[in-house]
Amino acid sequence: MTLFGTKSPLVFVFTFWICLSAIAQNKPILVIHGGAGTIERGMLSDSLELEIKSALQKALDTGYGIMSDGGTAVDAVEATLMVLEDSPHFNAGKGSVMTKKGNHELDASIMDGKDLNAGAVTGVSKVKNPISAARGVMDKSPHVMFAGRGADEFAKTLKLELVPNAYFTTPRIRKNWKHSQIKEGRIAPAEKKFSKFGTVGCVALDGDGNIAAGTSTGGMMNKANSRIGDSPIIGAGTYADNNTCGVSSTGHGEYFIRIGVAKEISDQMEFGNKTLKEAVNHTIHNKLSNMDALGGVIALDRDGNIEMVFNTPGMYRGYKTDSENKVLIYGKDD
3-state secondary structure of 233: coil
Inter-CA distances, 331 with 46, 74, 139, 309, 310, Å: 17, 29, 37, 10, 9
82 inside domain: yes
Indicate whether 253 belongs to any domain. Answer: yes
Separation of first and last alpha carbons in the chain: 59
Residue 95: inside a domain, yes or no? Answer: yes
Interval 138-182: pLDDT, tens: 999 999 999 999 999 999 999 999 999 999 999 988 988 888 877
Contact criterion met (CB below 8 Å) for 107 and 130: yes
Which positions ≥6 away from 291 have C-beta within 8 Å?
255, 258, 259
**Dist CA 217 CA 153 (whole Å):** 19
- Give the integer Cα–Cα distance in Å for 263 and 167: 33
Predicted pLDDT at 24: 45
Q: Whole-prediction pTM value?
A: 0.89
Instruction: Give the tens place of pLDDT for each residue, 237-253.
Output: 999 999 999 999 999 99
DSSP label of 165: G
Is residue 10 assigned to a domain? no
Domain harbouring 110, CATH code: 3.60.20.30
- Residues carrying an active site annotation: 199
CA–CA gap between residue 33 and residue 84 (Å, rounded): 10
Quote the domain boundaries for residue 157. 26-328
| The total number of residues written for the chain in this structure | 334
Number of domains present in the structure of the chain? 1
pLDDT value at residue 39: 74
Does residue 20 lie within any of the structural domains? no
Report yes or no on 5 lying in a domain. no
Those residues of the chain that have pLDDT short of 70 are 1-25, 38, 42, 183-197, 332-334
Strand intervals (E) in 218-305:
238-240, 245-251, 295-301
**What pLDDT score does 177 carry?**
87
Confirm whether 21 is domain-assigned: no
Give the model's pLDDT for residue 130. 98
Residue 176 maps to a domain: yes
pLDDT at 16: 39
Closest by alpha carbon to 231, among 313, 111, 53? 111
Q: What is the pLDDT of residue 41?
A: 76
